[in-house]
Structure 1
């Protein structure tokens, strides 16, 4: 049984930080110590920013992006090509493509990939909403931009099967995305090249 070395408030901070991706208990302790040491410069503003985000940030009911408005800024942007929709696994992938300025299109965030081993089925993702958007008849091209993993490709094939009755062109990322690679870790040049070289499925 580990001995408590700090007050319950700091222990709770460490416990919550350790739940973040990439932060284990040791990294969480270092982060908590840094935050407490720089209370006025970082800790208080961070707390305010998190409280504001919890209050104002919402999920777009149309595409699944996160924003402070619903529909989100991308869905409401008249300068976007709303006839082309890029399908991504997560919001982090959307951000990666936006940083690359690869294609001035709309998006659809699936919220993950199909994974029977982890109990993730079609109803756990936003595939039904994607099919509804295609059924509305304004989308001409879907760019499947899921990660090049087994689960990602399985998800892509499932989506294609759901769209056989619709007159929509379905393309996917081509050159530049390595097998097993994840979009969020690729550089902007690689993403741009992959988007330009997309091919029909």
Structure 2
């Protein structure tokens, strides 16, 4: 334990970041204090501003600085399509593909009963209210291809079908440029079962 309380507090704060353990936090803290105090000030200022200004879009739950995010307020978006993603970073990845032009709903997580994460924790009641407004004709389930992501997609798919809305799942399989030799069995199985006419 350091006898410098401010340094200890900085290391503990850095440990809150994902993937940052005690040694990494110490390296970051020492780097900022030894070599980049101006960078540390800029990080502190940017973090403070983001915490104060960034809120959740009232419609899609994505990060925004206004009540409606740019995507939800765009008249060029197809409101009959709704893509469900786990996180804002998933939304950015899909949107940057340039292929999808509908709206989104960000869960900010996925169902995980073992971790105590249920439907209310990921905004399912907000999603149901959005679906009940009408206008959505198809829901694209774009949760990650993990056990929890698949369970979440299944759960939401059932809710969607109960409302007579079409539910689709993103396709998955061998990535472009990937070699079959290095592709895992589950990915190959899904690629084969989801094959389409060439």
* Structure 1 stretches of 4+ moved >4 Å: none
1:75 lines up with 2:72 in the alignment: yes
1:99 Cα deviation after fit: 2.8
Q: 1:51 aligns with which of 34, 48, 51?
A: 48
Larger Rg: 2
Kept in 2, the 8 Å contact 1:65–1:108? The answer is yes
Across the aligned residues of Structure 1 and Structure 2, the Cα RMSD in angstroms comes to 2.1
Equivalent residues of 2:141, 2:157 under 8 A apart:
no
Match of 2:109 in 1: 112
Aligned match for 1:84, one of 81, 84, 108? 81
Task: Work out which of the residue numbers 6, 11, 15 in structure 2 matches 1:18.
Answer: 15
On the 8 A contact 2:160/2:166 being kept in 1, the answer is no
Structure 2 matches for 1:119-158, cutoff 5 A? 119-158=116-155
TM-score by length of 1: 0.81
Q: Give yes or no for contact 1:148–1:177 (8 Å, CA) kept in 2.
A: no
Relative to the length of structure 2, the TM-score reads: 0.82
List alignment gaps of at least 5 residues for structure 1. 179-193
Residues 16 and 155 of structure 1, relative CA distance in 2, 3 Å threshold: same
* Count of residues in correspondence between the two structures: 177
Question: Which structure's relative contact order is higher, taking Cα pairs within 8 Å and 6+ residues apart?
Answer: 1
Query: What is the deviation of 1:102?
Result: 3.4
| Equivalent in the alignment of 2:156 | 159
- Please state whether the residue corresponding to 1:85 is helix, strand or coil: strand
